[in-house]
C-alpha cells in the first residue's frame, strides 16, 4: 500500500519537502480520545531538534487538523493533519537539481518516477515527511499511556559515543521523554553534541543508534508469522529515513551466545509470570510475553554533507562534482528518536486494536 | 493479515507441527512459469539441513501441489502446496506440555489463543512451517533467475566463527547455492560444524548470522515510505523463527561512520550508473539503485536445548523444571539460510509484480 | 487480493474443478469455537442440491481439515479445508476444450491467463470452488448463532415463479434452514422444481432470485464509506458465480418511491429503538441500525446448456458450433442459496471481529 | 480499510460536512499524467447539480492540491486534494441535533461512534464527501480516455420516468458527458426535472436509477473470485450514499430468462471476437470479455425531506417529531451520476494497474 501503513489503525502519508504542504490521514482511531495539541506540538518540537546541531531550516510545523476531531476529541473518522511548507528555499536546489546526491533518493526517485518527481529538497523522500507521522502519533501516545503502555527511546550511541544502558526502564523513560537530546547520561550527551558540532564544522555528518523500550504491553499481542510484533515494528521503523538496521533484545549479539545463556527462563513472582532475563526483547514467536519490548535502530550519518562529492548528472549521465548548498543536519539521530517512538506507537496501537477491537483505546 | 504476506504476489501459511499437514497458498503468480519439482525438492532438502548437526526428526517433506499448476506450468490461479506430517512423536511433548519452554512461543501462544492452541511440537509456531515457504519460493526463484535476478546467502557467522566476506558476489552466490552448509570458506564451515557438534554434545545450541545478496534487480523497484524494499524485506525476514536482527549494507556499523565515508558516490562506467561503494546495500530511500541488495540477518541459538531449565507451568502458574525430550536442532542457521533466500524471493517478486504487472515473470 | 477476502477474518480460495483438490484457508478465527462436522456436512449437502434438478456429477465433497482445529475446536490459527476431486470426467471437456462456452469464463480465462489456465470443467472459475466457502462458513455460522445472529435465505423467485415474502422473519428462517429446496411456500417450490425439470428436458436452464435476511446483528456494525455493510456484502456476494445483481431493502423499487414513503421512521418501543418500516434493509450510511439486514441476489440461468450454440474456437479464432456434453445444472439457484448464506456469514463475521476484536466469537 | 479503497491505486477519504475541510489522498497514480484543472472543476460543477433541483447550499468546491502534482503533472507520489467547507450553517442542525433523521446515518453514527461523532450536516456520512472522490477521478478519467477507455452514465430512471436505453453507446456517452442533467432523451429529462420540482414543492424527494457504460476496456482485466470486476465495482458503487442496488448486464431481469436466451454467443467479426448480445454486461467469471461493461445503480429518494417525521431523540430515547430545516436536495440522482462515473474510473484504473503495472496509465 505504498504510503499507507496499518491494518485497523492506518496512517497514509502525503507531501513533498517543497510542495504546498505535507500531512497524513490517520484512520481507525477510537472515538473519544482527547487531542492534546500542546503534547503534539511538544513532540513536533522535539523532532525539529536543537538549534546548535540541526538544520537551519526552521519550519514552524504548525499543524492544522482538517477532520476527525470535534470538540477536542477524536470522532472515530479519519483525522487529516496538514503542515504547510513555509521556509522553502527551492532555489538552493535548482542549480544542482540534476546532480544525484550520493546515498539520497534523488537517483532512485528518478528511476522510479521517470523524471516526473518533485526533486526539490528530496521531494516526497524528505525526512520532513516524518513530521505528520509524529503529529499523528501525538494523538495516539497519550491514549496508550492511559492504558499503561509507555514508549521511550534514548540515543544509545552517536558518533561512536555510547550512552549508558537502560537500568530502571520506567524511571529512565520518564527522564528521557522530557529531554531535547535524549540520553540517559547527560555527560555522554554533551560529548555527542560536541562530536556532532565537530562533524558539522568539517562539512560532514555522523550517525548513531536509538534504543527503544515499551512497557506495559499486555501479553498475547501480535499475530503469528507475518504480523508478528517484530515484523510489524521493523517494517514501520525502516520507513524512517536513514535507518539501516534493527535488532530486538540482544539482537546481533545473541548470535554469539549459547541457547542456555540466551534463553529467558520463566518464573512466577508474586503470581506474575515474568522472565529472569529479557534477551528476547519481550517477544516470543512474534507475540508479546509481558516483558518490556526492547529494540535498537541504527541510523546512518546524514547523507547530505557540505564536502564536495563525486556523482553523476541524472539527465545526461555524465560524471560530475556536487557541492551541496541546502541547509542540512549534521546528525539526525536526536531528531529521529521521536520518529521511532511515533512509528512504534502507531504500529503497536494497530496490533492492539486488531486484537481487542476499535474501541480499545477508549478513555 | 496475520498469515498472509504480499500485496500482488501473496503467500498464506497454514499448519501445525504435529497436525495433519502444513502448507501454503501462493497467489498472484504469473501464468506459464515452469514448475521444476527437482529444484523445489533440492531447496526443501537444504532446509532439512545436514544430518550431523540437525534434528533427528526426518520428515520426508514430500510436497503435493493441489492446484494452480497444470501440465507442468503455473496457471496464474492460487497454488496450494501441502506437506503431510508423518514423523510426529507427539508423546514427546505430552509429558511436558504445560511447561512453557523458555524463549519458545508456548507461553505467548497460550496467552494469545487462551488454551486452545495445538501445543504439540510448537504447533503453528514451529519452524517446520517454513517448509511450505521454501516450496513456494522454489517456484518463484527460477523465474527470477530467468530475469537475471539472483539471490544467494552464506553463513556469515556461526557460534562466533566468521566466514569470509562476499568478494565477487556473482561467483560467490554461484558457489554457495549448491552447498549443504553454505559458507564461502569451507575451512570456516568445518570449524562451525565442529562448534555446533560441541554445543550439541553439551545439550546446548548456538546461533549465527546469515548474509544475503541479490544481484540483477532493476533500479527503481520499491515504494516510498511503507513499502520500501528494506521495510518489506525486514517484515518478511522477521517472519522466520529465531531472527533477532536485520541490517542492510554497512548496517549497525554505519552508525559509527561519517557521512563522507558512508556515502556511496555515483559514477558512470561505460554508460552504466553505479556507485563506487555499496554501503547502502543497494537501496536509497527505500528504492533499489541497481547495486546488489545486501543484508545480514541475526539468528538466535535454538531455544530448545537438552539442559534443564527453570520455567513455569502454564496451567497452574507454578514454578517448575523443564527437561526437554523432543528432537531438536543444536543450530538452525544453516537451515535458515534457505528460508531467508525464500522470503527474499517472495518479497522482491511481489514488489516487481506490483511495479511491472502480473505478467512480468513470464518466461 | 484476488483470491483472498476479508480484513480480520479472511478466506483464501484455491483449486480447479478437475485438479487434485479444491479448498480454502480461513484465517483470523476466534480460538475455541466448536467445529461441528455434521453441520458442515449438512451445509455441503444442501449446496449439492437435490438430485432431480441438479448436475449428475456427484462429488462426495468429503472435507479434510488440515490445520487450525485441535481436539474439536478452533485453535485461532489458519484452518485449511481441502476437498478432493474424485468424480471428474475430464474427457467430457477435451473434445470441446477450445470452444469457448458462451457466458462462461473460458474465453476470459484464456485472455487473462494467456492459455495456461486449467480449462477442464471451468477450472478455477467453476462453481465447484464454492464448496470450500460453504465449508468455511460451516464453522462460522454456528458461532454467529450462539451470539444471536441468524442468517437465512429463500428462493424468492425461480423460473419466473415467486415465493411468498418474508413475514415473521425469525420463524421463516427457522423453517428455511432445514429445507433442501428453500422456499417459504412449498407449493411454489414444487412449481419451481417442475419448471426446472421442464427447462432441463429442453436442454435449457433457468435462473432466479435469492432473498436473504440476517437478524440479531448489533447496531453500529460496519465502517463508513468503503467498508460499509452493503459494500462488503455486495463485494462478497458478487464472488458467487452467476450473480448479476444485488439490492438491499426495497432495492430497485425504492427508486420509484418518495422520500416520505421510503424513509424508515424511528420509534421507541419498550426502550428499544426500532424503525416502523425496514425499506433500508437494516443499514443506514453503511452501518447496521439493529433491524434485520435484508437483501436480494439475482442469479442468471446456468450458462451451460445442452442446446447447440454459436461460439468461436479460442485457439484459432474461427466461428464454431458448441454442443456441450458435460454434466450440468439446469438451475443453480437452490444450490446457490447456501453459498449466499455462507459469504454473508464470513463477511459479517469479519466486520464484527474488526469492530469487537479477534476474540469476539468466543463461546 | 474503512476509508481507503483500492489495492494499487487507492483513495483515502477524510472530512466532515461542517468541519474545516474535506478531501482525499489518491496514491499509486502513474507519474506524468497531465492534471487538467478545468476538467476537474467541470466534474465538480456537475456534481453540484443544477440550481433548480439541488440544494441551496452552494459550496464553491475550490479544490487545492497539496501534493503529488508538480509542474502540472502527477509525480507518482500521493495526491492530497482538499476542499474547504465555507457555506456551513451549522446552527440549522443544532436545534435538531439529537433527533435522528429517518434513513440517515445519524442514529447509526451515534451507535458506532458512541456520541463522539461530528453530527453537523451528517458529518462524515454527508454526501458532500463525494466531492473529493470526484476530484480524484478527475485526474484519472482523462488518463483512461487517452487509453481509449470511456465511461459514461445517464439517468435511466427518475421519479418513475424512464430515459431511453443506450443505443450507440459511444455516441450516447459522448452526448451525455457534457450535460448538466444527463439523459439521452432531453424530453424525458424535462419531465424528470418537473417531477423533482413537484416533489420539492411538497417537501418531499424522489429517487432514480443511473445506468453506466464503459467502452474500450481490454479483455482479461479483473481477478478471479474476490477481485472480480463486478465485485470491485459493486463495492465501490455502494460507497456512494443513497445506493440501494446494482445490477450488471440484464441484471435482475436475467433471473427470468432461459439460458439459451441469456447466453451471449461469441462470434468472430473481422478478426475481432465479440458477443452477439451483451446480457452479461461485458463480464464473464468476473473478468472483462471486451464488450462494454454495463451496470445500473438504484438510488433511493433523498432521506432529508421537509415534511414532519416521527423519530426518536438519540440522547434520551424519547419519541419525537422532526421538522428538518437544513438545505437539501429533492433528488440526488443527477448529481450522483458523476460520482458513479468517478468510483467506476478509480476502481477500474486500480484493476488495470494491478494487471499491467504502475506505469500503465503513462501518456
pLDDT of residue C52: 77
User: Given B8, B77, B360, which is nearest D354 (Cβ)?
Assistant: B8
Q: Could you please report the per-residue DSSP string of D77-100?
A: S-EEEEEE--S--THHHHTTTTBP
pLDDT of residue C91: 64
User: Given B105, B199, B209, which is nearest A255 (Cβ)?
Assistant: B209
Residue of chain B whose Cα is closest to the Cα of C80: B14
Mean pLDDT within D289-302: 98
pLDDT of residue D324: 75
Mean pLDDT within C101-127: 95
Mean pLDDT within C255-259: 97
Which range has the worst mean pLDDT, B50-64, B177-191, C190-204, D198-212? B50-64
Average pLDDT, chain D: 94
User: Given A27, A32, A82, which is nearest D3 (Cβ)?
Assistant: A27
For residue B12, the distance in angstroms to the closest alpha carbon of chain C comes to 8
Task: Answer whether residue B327 shows pLDDT above 70.
Answer: no
User: Given C13, C25, C112, which is nearest B76 (Cβ)?
Assistant: C112
Neighbouring chains of D at 3+ CB pairs under 8 Å are A, B, C
pLDDT of residue A296: 98
pLDDT of residue C89: 65
User: Given A27, A74, A80, which is nearest D4 (Cβ)?
Assistant: A27
How far is the C-alpha of C190 from the C-alpha of C141, rounded, in Å?
Answer: 28
Residue of chain C whose Cα is closest to the Cα of D100: C266
DSSP state of A286: T
Contact residues for A186 (Cβ-Cβ < 8 A; gap 6+): none
Residues of D in contact with C219 (CB under 8 A): 107-108, 111
Which residues on adjacent β-strands are paired with residue D211? D154, D296
Mean pLDDT within B91-118: 89
Residue percentage of chain B with pLDDT more than 70: 95
Residues of B in contact with A231 (CB under 8 A): 234-236, 238-239
User: What is the per-residue pLDDT across B146-177, written as a single tens digit (0 to 9) for each?
Assistant: 999 999 999 999 999 999 999 999 999 999 98
Residue percentage of chain B with pLDDT more than 90: 89
pLDDT of residue A290: 98
The 3-class SS string of D163-176 reads CCCCCCHHHHHHHH
Task: Answer whether residue B316 shows pLDDT above 80.
Answer: yes
Whole-number Cα distances in Å, C132 to A288, B72, C17, C232, C235:
33, 25, 12, 20, 18
Residue C192 contacts residue C139 (beta carbons within 8 Å): no
User: What is the per-residue pLDDT across D71-123, written as a single tens digit (0 to 9) for each?
Assistant: 999 999 999 999 999 876 666 666 678 999 999 999 999 999 999 999 998 99
* CA-closest candidate to residue A218, choices A351, A89, A335: A351
Q: Choose, out of A263, A329, A346, the residue to mutate when testing the contact with B (most B CBs < 10 Å).
A: A263
CB contact under 8 A, D70 and A116: yes
Residue of chain C whose Cα is closest to the Cα of D343: C226
How far is the C-alpha of A10 from the C-alpha of A26, rounded, in Å?
Answer: 6
Average pLDDT, chain C: 94
Write down the pTM of the prediction. Answer: 0.97
pLDDT of residue D354: 96
Mean pLDDT within D312-338: 90
Residue of chain D whose Cα is closest to the Cα of B222: D358
Q: Band the pLDDT of C248: cuts 50, 70, 90.
A: very high
Mean pLDDT within D38-48: 95
Residues of C in contact with A224 (CB under 8 A): 77
Counted across chains A and C, CB pairs separated by less than 8 A come out at 23
CB contact under 8 A, D80 and A15: yes
User: Given D111, D244, D248, which is nearest C247 (Cβ)?
Assistant: D244
Counted across chains C and D, CB pairs separated by less than 8 A come out at 359
User: CA dihedral defined by A189, A191, A192, A197, rounded to 10 degrees?
Assistant: 130
Helices B130-146 + B37-48 axis angle, to 10: 130
* CA-closest candidate to residue D346, choices D236, D204, D198: D236
Q: Is B239 exposed, middle or buried (0-12, 13-18, 19+ CB in 10 A)?
A: buried
Task: Answer whether residue C207 shows pLDDT above 90.
Answer: yes
Residues of C in contact with B117 (CB under 8 A): 31, 70, 75-77
Residue A344 contacts residue A329 (beta carbons within 8 Å): no
> Phi, psi (5° rounding) for residue D312?
-125, 160
| Residue B98: count of CB within 10 angstroms of its CB | 17
Counted across chains A and D, CB pairs separated by less than 8 A come out at 176
How far is the C-alpha of A162 from the C-alpha of A165, rounded, in Å?
Answer: 9
Task: Answer whether residue C86 shows pLDDT above 90.
Answer: no
Residue with cell 485438479: C19
How far is the C-alpha of B37 from the C-alpha of B30, rounded, in Å?
Answer: 17
Q: Band the pLDDT of A324: cuts 50, 70, 90.
A: confident
Residue A292 contacts residue A169 (beta carbons within 8 Å): yes
* CA-closest candidate to residue A78, choices D101, D118, C218, C355: D118
User: What is the per-residue pLDDT across B207-218, written as a single tens digit (0 to 9) for each?
Assistant: 999 999 999 999
CB contact under 8 A, C3 and D224: yes
Q: Choose, out of B20, B29, B77, B117, the residue to mutate when testing the contact with C (most C CBs < 10 Å).
A: B77
ipTM of the complex: 0.97
Residues of A in contact with C224 (CB under 8 A): 77
Residue of chain C whose Cα is closest to the Cα of D16: C224
Residues of D in contact with C307 (CB under 8 A): 259-260
pLDDT of residue A56: 65
User: Given C77, C224, C357, which is nearest A356 (Cβ)?
Assistant: C357
User: Given D25, D112, D116, which is nearest A12 (Cβ)?
Assistant: D25
Residue D1 contacts residue D111 (beta carbons within 8 Å): no
For residue B184, the distance in angstroms to the closest alpha carbon of chain C comes to 39
Task: Answer whether residue A1 shows pLDDT above 90.
Answer: no
Residue of chain B whose Cα is closest to the Cα of C117: B75
Residue percentage of chain D with pLDDT more than 70: 95
Residue of chain A whose Cα is closest to the Cα of C354: A357
DSSP state of C4: E
User: What is the per-residue pLDDT across B269-312, written as a single tens digit (0 to 9) for each?
Assistant: 999 999 999 999 999 999 999 999 999 999 999 999 999 999 99
User: Given B19, B67, B73, which is nearest C21 (Cβ)?
Assistant: B67
| Residue D359: count of CB within 10 angstroms of its CB | 18
Average pLDDT, chain A: 94
Task: Answer whether residue A214 shows pLDDT above 80.
Answer: yes
| Residue C219: count of CB within 10 angstroms of its CB | 18
Strands B319-322 and C4-5: unpaired
How far is the C-alpha of C133 from the C-alpha of C83, rounded, in Å?
Answer: 11
Task: Answer whether residue B244 shows pLDDT above 90.
Answer: yes
How far is the C-alpha of A111 from the C-alpha of A113, rounded, in Å?
Answer: 6
Q: Band the pLDDT of C92: cuts 50, 70, 90.
A: low
CB contact under 8 A, B257 and A300: yes
Query: In D113-126, which positions are buried (b, 16+ CB within 10 angstroms) versus exposed (e)?
Result: beebbbbbbbbbbb
For residue B123, the distance in angstroms to the closest alpha carbon of chain A comes to 11
CB contact under 8 A, B284 and A107: yes
* CA-closest candidate to residue C22, choices C12, C35, C31: C12
Q: Specify the 3-state DSSP secondary structure of D58.
A: coil
Neighbouring chains of A at 3+ CB pairs under 8 Å are B, C, D
Task: Answer whether residue A178 shows pLDDT above 90.
Answer: no
Q: Choose, out of B119, B284, B289, B315, the residue to mutate when testing the contact with A (most A CBs < 10 Å).
A: B284
- Give the residue ranges of DSSP H helices in B125-211: 130-146, 169-176, 186-201
- Give the residue ranges of DSSP H helices in B49-204: 91-94, 106-113, 130-146, 169-176, 186-201
Residue D16 contacts residue A40 (beta carbons within 8 Å): no
> Phi, psi (5° rounding) for residue B136?
-60, -45
Contact residues for A356 (Cβ-Cβ < 8 A; gap 6+): C357
Task: Answer whether residue B329 shows pLDDT above 90.
Answer: no
CB contact under 8 A, C77 and A224: yes
* CA-closest candidate to residue D228, choices D359, D355, D360: D355
- Give the residue ranges of DSSP H helices in chain C: 37-48, 91-94, 106-113, 130-146, 169-176, 186-201, 229-237, 259-262, 333-356
User: What is the per-residue pLDDT across D213-243, written as a single tens digit (0 to 9) for each?
Assistant: 999 999 999 999 999 999 999 999 999 999 9
- In terms of pLDDT, which residue wins out, D38 or D50? D38
For residue C14, the distance in angstroms to the closest alpha carbon of chain B comes to 5
Residues of C in contact with A226 (CB under 8 A): none
User: Given C7, C355, C360, which is nearest A7 (Cβ)?
Assistant: C7
> Phi, psi (5° rounding) for residue A10?
-125, 150
Give me A150's grid cell.
Answer: 509507555
Task: Answer whether residue B53 shows pLDDT above 80.
Answer: no
Whole-number Cα distances in Å, D213 to D146, D196, D277:
17, 25, 15
Mean pLDDT within A124-140: 97
For residue B146, the distance in angstroms to the closest alpha carbon of chain C comes to 19
Whole-number Cα distances in Å, B226 to A135, A239, B7:
17, 5, 12
How far is the C-alpha of B210 from the C-alpha of C22, rounded, in Å?
Answer: 37
Q: Band the pLDDT of D18: cuts 50, 70, 90.
A: very high
Q: Band the pLDDT of A50: cuts 50, 70, 90.
A: confident
Please report, in angstroms and rounded to a whole number, the separation of the first and last CA atoms in chain A. 30
Amino acid at each position: 500500500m505504498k504510503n499507507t501503513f496499518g491494518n485497523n489503525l492506518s496512517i497514509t502519508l502525503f507531501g513533498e519537502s517543497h510542495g504546498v504542504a505535507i500531512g497524513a490521514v490517520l484512520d481507525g482511531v477510537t472515538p473519544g480520545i482527547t487531542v492534546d495539541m500542546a503534547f503534539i506540538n511538544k513532540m513536533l518540537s522535539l523532532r525539529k531538534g536543537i538549534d546548535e546541531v540541526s538544520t537551519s531550516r526552521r519550519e514552524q510545523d504548525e499543524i492544522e487538523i482538517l477532520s476527525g476531531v470535534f470538540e477536542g476529541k477524536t470522532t472515530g473518522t479519519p483525522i487529516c493533519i496538514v503542515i504547510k511548507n513555509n521556509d522553502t528555499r527551492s532555489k538552493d536546489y535548482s542549480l544542482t537539481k540534476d546532480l544525484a546526491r550520493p546515498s539520497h533518493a534523488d537517483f532512485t526517485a528518478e528511476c522510479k518516477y521517470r523524471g516526473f518527481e518533485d526533486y526539490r529538497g528530496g521531494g516526497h523522500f524528505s525526512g520532513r515527511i516524518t513530521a505528520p507521522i509524529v503529529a499523528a502519533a501525538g494523538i495516539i501516545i497519550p491514549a496508550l499511556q492511559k492504558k499503561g503502555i509507555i514508549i521511550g527511546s534514548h540515543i544509545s550511541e552517536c558518533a561512536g559515543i555510547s550512552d549508558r544502558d537502560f537500568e530502571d526502564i520506567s524511571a529512565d523513560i520518564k527522564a528521557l521523554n522530557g529531554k531535547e537530546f535524549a540520553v540517559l547520561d547527560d555527560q555522554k550527551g554533551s560529548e555527542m553534541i560536541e562530536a556532532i558540532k565537530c562533524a558539522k564544522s568539517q562539512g560532514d555528518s555522523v550517525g548513531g543508534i536509538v534504543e527503544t523500550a515499551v512497557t506495559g504491553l499486555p501479553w498475547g499481542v501480535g499475530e503469528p508469522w507475518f504480523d508478528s510484533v517484530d515484523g510489524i515494528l521493523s517494517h514501520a521503523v525502516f520507513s524512517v529515513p536513514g535507518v539501516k538496521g534493527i535488532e530486538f533484545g540482544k539482537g546481533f549479539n545473541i548470535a554469539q551466545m549459547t541457547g542456555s545463556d540466551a534463553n529467558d527462563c520463566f518464573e512466577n513472582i508474586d503470581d506474575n509470570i515474568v522472565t529472569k532475563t529479557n534477551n528476547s526483547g519481550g517477544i516470543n514467536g512474534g507475540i508479546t510475553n509481558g516483558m518490556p519490548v526492547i529494540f535498537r535502530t541504527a541510523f546512518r550519518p546524514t547523507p547530505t554533507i557540505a564536502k564536495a562529492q563525486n556523482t553523476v548528472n541524472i539527465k545526461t549521465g555524465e560524471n560530475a562534482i556536487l557541492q551541496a548548498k541546502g541547509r542540512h543536519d549534521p546528525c539526525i539521530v536526536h531528531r529521529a528518536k521521536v520518529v521511532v517512538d511515533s512509528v512504534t506507537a502507531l504500529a503497536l496501537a494497530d496490533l492492539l486494536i486488531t486484537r481487542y477491537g476499535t474501541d480499545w483505546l477508549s478513555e
